[in-house]
Chain A
């Protein structure tokens, strides 16, 4: 089942300079009762975004009209805690295609990649540069080029390379998914089972 092909993105970004953003914050447990993958974006960062009565909290970045875009730039150790893939679904469903941070939790990283959401890990220094640029000038555009594994702060031309394993890169660029790959390995899997019996 194909996921959308990942193309080079040039977009403004939303800054979230908070560290250790756990998946309970990204999508609180009480919204995990759905049995489909859709619609989680409405409750993305629910308890930071809305108060108890459901009114938007003006201080929270998703409620500030000045910031928008397909790139979420977040503090260190993003996506820690619960393995809920709903976190990746919520971010993607909201409209983000890339999350930038200086550090990602492992399970979140896998979940993101499996849903066509690209986690871009940059150095602490580059991350501060991004935050500074976006906060000073919210219309700042950032380019994320997966083919060349490069993220560029367009106004200044500052750039940095990022890592991704070549298999996952191919999958994202071509819209392949792991299950197709695994299904093609069926014979090998059965052989493995026999060899252990």
Chain B
């Protein structure tokens, strides 16, 4: 019998029941909830007269819809306030731990899970948010679900899921200077397209992946969904164990050692077979940026937007529609395009390492006059660390202001909206039409590139300033 992949090992260990010709009933170890995709699930539960089955396995925090300035004041927007209050009410009623606004642990769900040690190797983790794939960086099977499924987890700690196929993506070699985890994943998505991973769960492997910090690995797994994959994961190793050690909810002392022993077995067997396998070479990966309206439309920042002749016939309609929306020309050079906004934040790149990268780059420099920059930490802990490490001061001297944690302009549900027509370089994960505000235009890039753009006011290869 062929060996098992890491994904199979974790998935199979959680199957409570198999339905013939149907989905697996999968047990969920950790469930994260936030204010936007949970209220209807609680309402459904109550309509059925049910209690939350295992309240201790769910953790809640408001993030999508919260202001990023003056968080100590009541939320101005009535609907947002109602939604956040509803979360508080539901958690109180059902005995669920809530890290509300102002709590030192509040933040974007996918930033706080790992930071608090809630996320651990070998777990199944779900959340009503597609970027739950982030937690896969720890060797967990983690994926986003819809609200009906949130209700299922609340009611039974299980969901019903057809098992995805397995894909492995190997990235081999040493990263070139100025190339970051974000560039790797933007490169991969540009190669396999925004739908190339649909139906799959991706394992990322290879020397380049292993060389990444946990933050970098999270950035990679986070964007798995942007190529359509259900999730992505990376085998846990020393880097993983060291990251988890001593975190609030991590096992301690002997328990930690025992856990590590178990976690070490979480890797793909040598003779395991994948449904699809791809390998990329870091020699081909440069700093990346997107030019279109899905994350697959990315290219080398030092290059040009592809011309029509580079695009496959079946993608031409999307390509033309995207360029029209972005106001770009086929074949146009990317460097030099003037930019209006820079957004550093989100569950993709709103962790402390990302803020450090930006601070290091902008230290002693000033932001360009034409740039409005929003720097939004992924959590209160990140925010606090940024103050403690002097990052906030460096940013301020360079003309930026550190805001308060939340999803912010990543999806622009709160007031942090890029105005119509304005062009933003963003460290988030989606460049869809209007994603950052109606009519806004988004180019996705790494924190390093975003910092270079903030300083020069236009698209630039960050390596020119290193």
Bound-complex Cα distance A103 to B194 (A): 12
Give the complex CA separation of A181 and B148 in angstroms: 13
Please tell me if A179 contacts chain B, counting CB pairs below 8 Å.
Answer: yes
Q: A33-B65, A52-B420, A179-B152 are in contact. Are A77 and B198 (CB under 8 A)?
A: yes
Q: Pick the contact of B413: A29, A104, A106, A185 (CB < 8 A).
A: A29
Contacts known (A20-B294, A107-B146); A1 close to B36, Cβ less than 8 A? no
Assuming the contacts A52-B420, A85-B146, asked whether A167 and B19 have C-beta atoms less than 8 A apart, the reply is yes
Would you list which residues of chain A between 64 and 122 have a CB under 8 Å from chain B? 75-77, 80-86, 88, 103-107, 110-111, 114-115
In the bound complex, how far is the Cα of B164 from the Cα of A168, in angstroms? 16
A167 touches B22 (CB 8 A): yes
Contacting A83 at CB < 8 Å: which of B86, B145, B412, B439? B145
Contact status A20-B146, CB under 8 Å:
no
Chain A residues contacting B48 (CB-CB under 8 Å) are: 1, 179
Contact with B along A113-148 (1 / 0, CB 8 A): 011000000000000000000000000000000000
- Residues of chain A lying within 8 A (CB to CB) of residue B159: 178
Complex Cα spacing A83 to B294, Å: 16
The residues of B that contact A189 with a CB separation of less than 8 Å are 16, 25, 27, 156-158
A122: shortest Cβ distance to chain B, in Å?
A: 15
Interface-side segment among B171-179, B267-275, B314-322, B387-395: B314-322
Q: A30 contacts B318, CB within 8 Å?
A: no
Structural contact, B195 and A80, CB atoms closer than 8 A = yes
Q: A35-B40, A36-B40 are in contact. Are A47 and B432 (CB under 8 A)?
A: no
- Are B146 and A166 interface neighbours, CB within 8 A? no
Check A165–B22 contact: CB distance below 8 A. yes
B293 CB to nearest chain A CB (Å): 8
Which of these, A47, A165, A177, contacts B434 with CB under 8 Å? Answer: A47
| Pair A83/B21 contact, Cβ less than 8 Å | no
Residue of A nearest to B148 (CB): A114
B147 at interface by CB-CB < 8 Å: yes
- B128 in the interface, Cβ–Cβ < 8 Å? yes
**CA A111 to CA B161, docked complex, whole Å:** 11
A150 in contact (CB, < 8 A): no
B43 within 8 A of A: yes
Asked if B30 is at the interface (CB within 8 A of a chain A CB), the reply is no
Binds A, one of B76-84, B352-360, B372-380: B76-84
Complex Cα spacing A85 to B27, Å: 21
Determine the distance from Cα of A124 to Cα of B309 in the docked complex, in whole angstroms: 22
- Per-position 1/0 for A173-197, Cβ under 8 A of B: 0000111011101101100110000
Residues facing A in B22-44 (CB within 8 A) are: 22-23, 25, 27, 36-37, 39-40, 43-44
A52 vs B421: C-alpha distance in the bound complex, in angstroms? Answer: 12
Cβ-based interface call for A5 (8 A): no
Q: Is the CB of B40 within 8 A of A77?
A: no
- Given A35-B39, A35-B86, A36-B40: A183 touches B155 (CB 8 Å cut-off): yes
Q: Roughly how many angstroms separate A22 CA and B434 CA in the complex, as a whole number?
A: 11
Contact B27 A80 (CB under 8 A): no
Q: Is the CB of B128 within 8 A of A182?
A: no
CA A37 – CA B38 in complex, angstroms?
A: 11
| Bound CA–CA A179/B155 (angstroms) | 7
Once the chains bind, are A36 and B43 in contact (CB under 8 Å)? yes
A189–B26 alpha-carbon span in the complex (Å)? 10
Contacts of B149 in A (CB 8 A): 110, 114
CA of A35 to CA of B41 in the docked complex: distance in angstroms? 9
Question: What is the chain A residue whose CB lies nearest that of B90?
Answer: A35
Contacts of B44 in A (CB 8 A): 1, 179
Given A20-B294, A106-B199, A167-B19: A81 touches B432 (CB 8 Å cut-off): yes
Tell me, rounded to whole Å, the shortest Cβ–Cβ distance linking B54 to chain A. Answer: 8
- Bound CA span A75–B21, Å: 28
A19 near B432 with CB under 8 A, answer: no
On chain A, the residues within 8 Å of B80 by CB distance are 33
Q: Min CB distance, B13 to chain A, in Å? A: 8
A4 interface hit (Cβ, 8 Å) = no
Please tell me if the beta carbons of B230 and A106 are within 8 angstroms of each other in the complex.
yes
Q: When chains A and B are docked, how far (Å) is the Cα of A85 from the Cα of B152?
A: 14
Residues of B within 8 A of A167 (CB): 19-23, 160
Check if A76 sits within 8 Å of B128, measured CB to CB: no
Contact A83–B144 (Cβ < 8 Å)? yes
- In the complex, 29 of the A-B residue pairs with CB atoms within 8 angstroms, ordered by the A residue number, are A19-B315, A24-B411, A32-B36, A35-B40, A47-B439, A52-B439, A76-B195, A76-B314, A77-B195, A80-B194, A82-B129, A83-B145, A83-B146, A84-B146, A85-B148, A103-B195, A104-B198, A107-B145, A107-B146, A110-B161, A166-B22, A167-B22, A167-B160, A178-B148, A182-B152, A182-B158, A189-B16, A189-B156, A193-B157
- Nearest first, the 10 A-B pairs at minimum CB distance are A167-B22, A166-B21, A85-B146, A33-B79, A35-B39, A111-B146, A114-B148, A83-B144, A77-B195, A182-B156
Given A33-B80, A110-B161, 14 other A-B residues pairs in contact with their CB atoms under 8 A: A22-B294, A24-B411, A25-B433, A29-B412, A35-B82, A47-B438, A82-B130, A107-B130, A165-B21, A167-B20, A179-B151, A181-B160, A182-B156, A185-B16
